[in-house]
Amino acid sequence: MQTTQTTQTTAESIYGNERPALEQACAALSEHIAAIRAEMTAELGMDPVEHYLTRIKSEDSMREKCRRKGLPVTTHSALHIIKDAIGVRVVCAFVDDVFEICRRLKASGQYEFVEEKDYIRHAKPNGYRSYHLIIRFQNGYFAEIQLRTISMDTWAALEHHLKYKKDVGGKTALIVQELKRCADELASTDLSMQTIRDMILEQD
Ligand code: 0O2
């Protein structure tokens, strides 16, 4: 075991004394996304972001994730092995804006891009769609950025809610199948909405 790792007691923060620095990194990322949003709003004549959220993963969720991954429940695991202590979710009206925000984040050269998961072009088998980026800040902290459309976000929220409803009896297979169908229909609507937006922009 590395000597730098400290075992946390439940009374201590799993983030140890690094929480203020973590919050600073989260705020800096949030400001960067706000700046990209402002740039694109000026260029497009409309705000590409419907809403966005930032969070530091809660103490309980982080501890639970360490255990689930078979990691010691330490500050080192939380900040340097698990990569979503900082989480940002950017929700756009149109799918092209998701990819454009992603492109601008990369072009900024401010972060190392550690991992990228395109669940938009390659949806999960259950229908989940979203674009995930894991970035590393210069100070070594990681953040997960999830970018998605309103439709994708609505589906994910509903699916998350249903996942924790325990008593679905023998209907599980039907629910899974119906959720997948809804995800595919929403994806098709996203494409139609994008086409309509493109037609409107061509008029300008
Ligand atoms: P929370 O509370 O949202 O942070 P890992 O992060 O390594 O444990 P994985 O599967 O490699 O897991 O990462 P992935 O696929 O990038 O997913 C990470 C996050 O995406 C999840 O975070 C969810 O927020 C979201 N997500 C992924 N798949 C689904 C899905 O099928 N349905 C919904 N509703 N959300 C999903 P956490 O840590 O689970 O939770």
**What is the dotted CATH code of the domain comprising 1-204?**
3.30.460.10
pLDDT at 175: 85
Residue at token pair 């919050």: 23
Distance CA 196, CA 29 (A): 31
Residue 54 φ/ψ, nearest 5 degrees: -125, 150
Distance CA 25, CA 59 (A): 18
pLDDT at 9: 43
- Sites in the chain below the pLDDT cut of 50: 1-10
Q: Is the CB of 159 under 6 A from ligand 1?
A: yes
pLDDT at 1: 36
pLDDT at 27: 97
Is this structure's pTM higher than 0.85? yes
pLDDT at 4: 38
Query: What would the pLDDT profile of 128-179 be if each residue is shown by its tens digit?
Result: 999 999 999 999 999 999 999 999 999 999 998 877 666 667 778 888 899 9
Residue 188 φ/ψ, nearest 5 degrees: -70, -40
For the four alpha carbons of 33, 39, 43 and 45, in that order, the dihedral sign comes to positive
Task: Tell which one of 130, 148, 163 to mutate to probe ligand 1, the residue whose CB is within 8 A of the most ligand atoms.
Answer: 130
Distance 201 CA to ligand 1 centre (A): 34
pLDDT at 173: 84
Q: Is the CB of 7 under 6 A from ligand 1?
A: no
Query: Measuring from atom 34 of ligand 1, which residue has the nearest CA?
Result: 156
